[in-house]
Structure 1
Amino acid sequence: MTGRTPADSADTSADASADELPIESAGPARWPRRVIAAGAVLALLLLAATGGLILGRSGSAGSAVPGTDSVDVGFAQDMSVHHRNAVQMAGWARDSSGDPTVRTLAFDIESGQTAQIGQMQGWLALWDAPAFPVDGYMRWMSDMSTELGMGHVADGRAQMPGMASTEDLARLRASTGPAADVLFLQLMLRHHEGGAGMLSYAAERAGRQQVRNLAAQMLTAQTAESQSIRQMLAERGAAPLPA
């Protein structure tokens, strides 16, 4: 017998857990990356299972799996890449910013878009399609008119609208303090607004209802976040970046 009480054991377990998973009192914005990664994996598995049931029922009614040149597949591939760019920036801001408001925004973007990547990647796996585009971006928008400001994209694009470049990301990592917060907000606003045309297109023209629904939900969420970011920039005396 060691003389330890259940309460002592509970305290020891709690201390060990705290050592393994440090979460600061500032709130969820300081959650470690492995928590988000684990959640994304779980979301992917659950969504893939649910998607399998949906696709199975659709298939029994004669609905074919989307082709590799479809809006559904192209959107899921390209938006996975677009989201990964945002998650990269948001993860940096969540870890580095000293502003609780910026950290909370970054956490929301990182966690939300990570889950959406899992959902889109789950669909692509079920459709037996490549996880990412292999021959340029936005080919699925080949009939897009200039009314969305992107012109004709039948030959594929080297980069999607709003994406932060390698130089942008390096500049963000090299920034500190309030200047870093402003740069993050500027880059994320440009990122959100740059992807709006892709989301609108998929929400209107994807062949599967679940793809149209997700694109519409993304557009609604990112439009609201863009409005908040514009307000945050104004409060900090900063202007958005050029489109």
Structure 2
Amino acid sequence: MTAVKRVRRVEWVAGSAVVLALLFAGVATVASARGGGDGADRVAAAPRTPSVDSADAGFARDMAVHHQQAVEMSFIVRDRTEDEEVRRLAYDIAQTQANQRGMLLGWLDLWELPKAAAGREPMDWMTDGHAGHPTRGTDGTDGMAGMDGMAGMGTGYRPHDGSLMPGMATRTELDRLRTANGRAAEVLYLQLMTDHHKGGIDMARGCARLCTVGAERRLARGMAEAQQSELDAMADMLAARGAAPRS
């Protein structure tokens, strides 16, 4: 193993350790929040607990699944290319989305809600009777502009080949990424992640409009803004490789 490869491997292992530390810290925080103080204190601190069929719970469940695949794709591409620019982007995406996934799952634990809801289809929180949902969160902030007309509209997406939500890669595409090398792996990863981000942005904007928990709405808005910035960067990276987004 060359010195360069050893350094890169250490960087990724260290990054993985940071992600795991953040996740464990999130679990500890949730456990503390659930166990500390008497019942009256907990009720006062959280007067509105989302229901299992709420937009808040639906977004947390679905985005946790969506994020997990982004982390998976990012770890796949690290072993398929030596390109530092793509590896750096993949590291940033894996670290950020693993951390956010820990927060989303932590909220579900805090709300004592299941991470998988029986009888609920992915993204039905965006389409199932939420058209009249309040457009202001518990923190008094407005929802993201430009979302009028999304609530109550069907996504028209049919899960297939392991792709459960818009933007998610199929099992076939993931297998292609696992066997690609060099520039081919870079281009496929950037194209798959571009699609992934587009689907994630739509979901985040849906939560920014429909969710009622202030912290979750703020996280969703931050996700949409950050992923849009990464979309722009990935478009430039694809162009530099003589390629373009798939759609």
TM-score range, shorter chain: 0.7 to 0.9
1:73 to 44, 57, 69: 57
Matched residue pairs, number? 219
1:109-148 alignment to 2 at 5 Å? 109-134=93-118, 135-142=120-127, 143=130, 148=150
Deviations for 1:27-75, whole angstroms, at most 9, x for unmatched residues? 875336752552243232254257658xx86731672310011111000
Unmatched runs of 5 consecutive residues or more in structure 2: 132-146
Q: Return closer, same or farther for 1:156/1:65 CA change in 2, 3 Å cut-off.
A: farther
Partner of 2:170: 165
**2:245 alignment partner, SS class:** coil
| Corresponding residue to 1:235 among 227, 234, 240 | 240
Equivalence for 2:230: 225
- Quote how far apart the aligned CAs of 1:177 are: 1.2
Q: What is the rounded CA distance, in whole Å, between the counterparts of 1:172 and 1:57 in structure 2?
A: 50
**Aligned residue in 1 for 2:187:** 182
Secondary structure, aligned partner of 2:166 = coil
Match of 1:10 in 2: none
Change (3 A) 1:61 1:40: closer
Q: TM-score scaled to structure 1, two decimals?
A: 0.79
Please tell me whether the aligned partners of residues 73 and 124 of structure 1 are also in contact (alpha carbons under 8 angstroms).
yes
Task: Indicate if the aligned counterparts of 1:76 and 1:120 stay in contact, CA closer than 8 A.
Answer: yes
8 Å CA contact 2:194–2:234 kept in 1: the answer is yes
Measure the CA separation in 1 of the matches of 2:180 and 2:151: 31
In structure 2, the CA distance between the partners of 1:30 and 1:23, relative to structure 1 (3 Å rule), is farther
Larger-Rg structure: 1
1:64 to 36, 39, 48: 48
Amino acid at match of 2:176: R
Q: Percent identity?
A: 36
The alignment partner of 1:164 has SS state of coil
- Offset from partner CA, 1:89-131 (integer Å, 9 cap, x none): 0111123321011111001011110011110000001111111
Distance 2:241 2:224 in 1: 26
Which contiguous aligned blocks of 4+ residues in structure 1 show a shift greater than 6 angstroms? Answer: none
The CA RMSD measured in Å over matched residues stands at: 3.1
CA distance in 1 between counterparts of 2:227 and 2:33 reads 24
Paired AA for residue 48 in structure 1: V
1:65–1:149 distance in 2 versus 1, CA, 3 Å: closer
- Measure the CA separation in 1 of the matches of 2:103 and 2:126: 21
- Between 1 and 2, higher relative CO (CA 8 Å, sep ≥ 6) is seen in 2
Distance 1:165 1:150, change over 3 A: farther
Q: CA deviation at 1:172?
A: 0.7
Q: Deviations over 1:155-197 (max 9, x none)?
A: 9963211000111101111111111111000000110012211
The Cα of 1:219 is off from its aligned counterpart by: 0.8
Number of the residue aligned with 1:152: 154
CA distance in 2, matches of 1:129, 1:156: 26
